[in-house]
Amino acid sequence: EEDGYELWLRYRPVREAGVVTRHARSIVAPANPSPTVRAAVAELRRGVKGMTGREPGAATRPGAGTIVLGTPATLPAALVPAGMAALGPEGYVVHSAAGGITVIAANSDTGLLYGAFAWLRAASTGAALAGLAQRSAPKLQLRVLNHWDNLDRTVERGYAGESIWNWWALPDVRDRRYVDYARANASLGINGTVLNNVNSKPEILTAPWLAKAAALADVLRPYGIRVYLSARFSTPLELKETATADPLAPEVAAWWRAKADEIYRVIPDFGGFLVKANSEGQPGPQDYRRSHADGANMLAAAVAPHGGVVMWRAFVYAAENPVDRAMQAYDEFKPLDGKFAANVLVQVKNGPIDFQPREPFHPLFGAMPATPLMMEFQVTKEYLGYATHLAYLGTMFEETLRADTERSPGGLTVAQVVEGAQGRPGRPTGMAGVANIGSERTWSGSHFDQANWYAYGRLAWDPQASSRAIAREWAAQTFTREPRALDGIVAMMMDSREAVVNYMTPLGLHHIMGTGHHHGPAPWVADLERPDWNPVYYHKAGRDGIGFDRTAAGSNALAQYAPSLARKYADPRTTPEPLLLWFHHLPWDYPMPSGRTLWAELANRYDQGVAQAQALRAQWTALRPYIDARRHEDVATLLDVQVREAQWWRDACLAYFQSVSGRPLPPGVKAPP
């Protein structure tokens, strides 16, 4: 019975089993294979056996029906593909050579592993194995998961059970599951993982915990995955090993240098630190009137001799900044452009508030040309219905990545910024995804949430990839290759996030979820201690209208964008409708392009969101003949909840906004019960 544990690596029998067998009778691997090459060969054997029932054997010589893996150093010269240098350290070539030979070539063993997964993806999605000509290299260097996993095994904003890291049993017990985690990530090219929550504890950097992290690093290493840790800025002070955490105090810098040396002794390929500083109560350099750059550079100096990096988060907002929380990161970081050490990346959330169902891109993208900016997406769905609601995030990630920052005359997308288009060549690039992984059987808390892990990984490899193509590729491996079913599943996925936007926060509304847990509607909340935690701060609905004025007449957050973009968005008529109330406060009777008033449009959007959720449910029912019973039922159950909660959102928001607008519900929109 299908329970989702195998993720997209199911390798079920395929109808062209004969063709697959013919191309994979045996595998030729380099002599003295490394653990990474052994993992690649094992995966090929497992995959082919699953798809065909026949496990390929080992061969020593290329010939018809062999898959030959190798680097330019190990392959027979005739089989070395042209242009290997351009592939870099992690790229691969998968191609059909003469004589029925399939070559998987790369410059490193990790590249070979990625190539093996690429071949398996081709075979399991039905690609023509006789004419393969794939060549692919990652566009970003650091493709990292951020686990918000606490040391007590709870997961902040995690909806898939306990942390998969069984800290109690580590370092002695190395759960098999860690290997499956590594396989899944390697299949996407994810090459780093931050094991612990950014709201970090000093203990993680003490010897017993480093031993646990080292055990995980040992398991993950063959799969090309490096371990990183979230570091609490005040660690030496809290461990009482220094008298201050001031980054400019020599004893503090020396402590971190020694700590880095200690870490690299047990984890020789340690990736580096992720830091949340001076944000939501976390300590940081500003506690000592030092800047983010002072803090980041001090840590960067400690890991630099070992080749490590510091990923310094830009998610900052303070109660003392009551005007517009969305502006603070830009205000604090933009002046520091060019001031960070070469091995620091500033990690910026996709939007300026906080992982809302829809946000404009963060204004820092394109505004710090002399600093590597790392994208931070949230794969776990804190604000999009947890693991219950079906919301495929590929479309959301793509929307941000394709946005034009207009920071260059010819256009400059967020993806290009993240790829390093603005900076000096050779500086680090990367993307982080806040993981949705836990110890539940499905890993992600639901079958469809696996697609968000998958889409994140594929977009970290190629930020310009198509979310639709990714959805299709995922669904073909995860559910079925039946074209009609695939069309249906992909259509559901491509619609799903817009449905959530419509029933939660249409037309640019944001942050009106329940306080703290962020699940369900609470636009009426107005009495929290910090003004910027109250939903009313964000929607600003009153008798006169609704929306957050971020034009020059309001907070002027628009001035943080490129002038051409700011000009366009200064006028509600040239602001994209999906962002209208993000940038404008407008009267309830404001005429919308549809011919409706703003109030009527809003009510219609909430209605439409519910209709879309119902449509998802109906589409899934129609797919029943194509999907195994257990997973069909699992998904159906969650879709029932989603329909109910969409209705809840609609009713609650319409009732509340109507109480403020004082307007009757537009014709055709049913009154909340």
Q: Verify binding: residue 646, ligand GCW, rule CB under 6 A.
A: no
Q: Verify binding: residue 157, ligand GCW, rule CB under 6 A.
A: yes
660 three-class SS: helix
Query: How far is residue 120 CA from its own chain's centroid?
Result: 23
Query: How far is residue 110 CA from its own chain's centroid?
Result: 22
Q: How far is the CB of 150 from ligand GCW (least distance, A)?
A: 10
Among 92, 119, 330, 355, contact with ligand GCW (rule: CB under 6 A): 355
The DSSP bridge pattern shows strands 344-349 and 309-313 to be: parallel
Rank residues 199 and 556 by Cβ distance to ligand GCW and give the closer one. 199
* Nearest CA among 161, 149, 164 for reference residue 440: 161
Q: How far is the CB of 517 from ligand GCW (least distance, A)?
A: 9
Rank residues 297 and 380 by Cβ distance to ligand GCW and give the closer one. 380
Q: Verify binding: residue 513, ligand GCW, rule CB under 6 A.
A: no
Angle between helix 250-266 and 292-303 (nearest 10): 40
Amino acid letter for position 641: V
Q: How far is the CB of 287 from ligand GCW (least distance, A)?
A: 17
Q: How far is the CB of 382 from ligand GCW (least distance, A)?
A: 6
The DSSP bridge pattern shows strands 66-70 and 192-194 to be: unpaired
Among 198, 205, 274, 415, contact with ligand GCW (rule: CB under 6 A): 198
Distance from first CA to last CA of the chain, Å, rounded?
A: 41
Q: Verify binding: residue 519, ligand GCW, rule CB under 6 A.
A: no
Q: How far is the CB of 378 from ligand GCW (least distance, A)?
A: 7
Q: Are residues 194 and 145 in contact, defined by beta-carbon separation less than 8 angstroms?
A: yes
Contact positions with ligand GCW (CB under 6 A) in 230-289: 276, 280
Rounded to the nearest 5°, which phi and psi values hold at 293?
-65, -40
Rank residues 280 and 571 by Cβ distance to ligand GCW and give the closer one. 280
Rank residues 66 and 505 by Cβ distance to ligand GCW and give the closer one. 505
Q: Are residues 508 and 498 in contact, defined by beta-carbon separation less than 8 angstroms?
A: no
Q: How far is the CB of 194 from ligand GCW (least distance, A)?
A: 12
Can you tell me which residue has the tokens 């990790």? 110
Structure tokens at 327: 């502006």
Rank residues 156 and 218 by Cβ distance to ligand GCW and give the closer one. 156
Rank residues 106 and 374 by Cβ distance to ligand GCW and give the closer one. 374
d(CA 444, CA 160): 5
Q: Verify binding: residue 330, ligand GCW, rule CB under 6 A.
A: no
DSSP letters spanning 63-117: -TTEEEEE-TTTS-GGGPPTT-GGGTTT-EEEEEEGGGEEEEEESSHHHHHHHHH
Contact positions with ligand GCW (CB under 6 A) in 382-411: 382
Burial 473-483 (b: 16+ CB within 10 A, else e): bbbbbbbbbee
Rank residues 354 and 473 by Cβ distance to ligand GCW and give the closer one. 354
Rank residues 355 and 361 by Cβ distance to ligand GCW and give the closer one. 355
Rank residues 365 and 479 by Cβ distance to ligand GCW and give the closer one. 365
Q: Verify binding: residue 199, ligand GCW, rule CB under 6 A.
A: yes
Q: Verify binding: residue 156, ligand GCW, rule CB under 6 A.
A: yes
Rounded to the nearest 5°, which phi and psi values hold at 20?
-60, -45
Q: Are residues 394 and 470 in contact, defined by beta-carbon separation less than 8 angstroms?
A: yes
Q: Verify binding: residue 619, ligand GCW, rule CB under 6 A.
A: no
DSSP letters spanning 320-373: T--S-GGGHHHHHHGGGTT-S-TTEEEEEESSSSSS-SS-PPPTTTTT-TTS-E
Q: How far is the CB of 286 from ligand GCW (least distance, A)?
A: 16
CA distances to 194, 226, 308, 334, 457 from 344, rounded to whole Å, are 16, 17, 9, 15, 22
For ligand GCW, the nearest residue by Cβ is 354
Q: How far is the CB of 149 from ligand GCW (least distance, A)?
A: 11
Among 148, 165, 443, 590, contact with ligand GCW (rule: CB under 6 A): 148
Q: Verify binding: residue 315, ligand GCW, rule CB under 6 A.
A: yes
* Nearest CA among 376, 397, 170 for reference residue 274: 376
What is the Cα Rg of the chain in Å?
A: 26
**Size of site (CB under 6 A) for ligand GCW:** 11
Q: Are residues 429 and 436 in contact, defined by beta-carbon separation less than 8 angstroms?
A: no
Binding mask 97-136 for ligand GCW (x = CB under 6 A): ----------------------------------------
Q: How far is the CB of 512 from ligand GCW (least distance, A)?
A: 15
Rank residues 116 and 194 by Cβ distance to ligand GCW and give the closer one. 194
- Which amino acids are annotated catalytic? 280, 354, 382
Contact positions with ligand GCW (CB under 6 A) in 441-470: none
- Count of positions (residues) in the chain: 673
SS (H, E, C) 229-277: EECCCCHHHHCCCCCCCCCCCHHHHHHHHHHHHHHHHHCCCCCEEEECC
Structure tokens at 384: 């999009």
Q: Verify binding: residue 354, ligand GCW, rule CB under 6 A.
A: yes
Amino acid letter for position 65: G
Q: Verify binding: residue 318, ligand GCW, rule CB under 6 A.
A: no
Give me the residues that bind ligand GCW (CB under 6 A), please. Answer: 148, 156-157, 198-199, 276, 280, 315, 354-355, 382
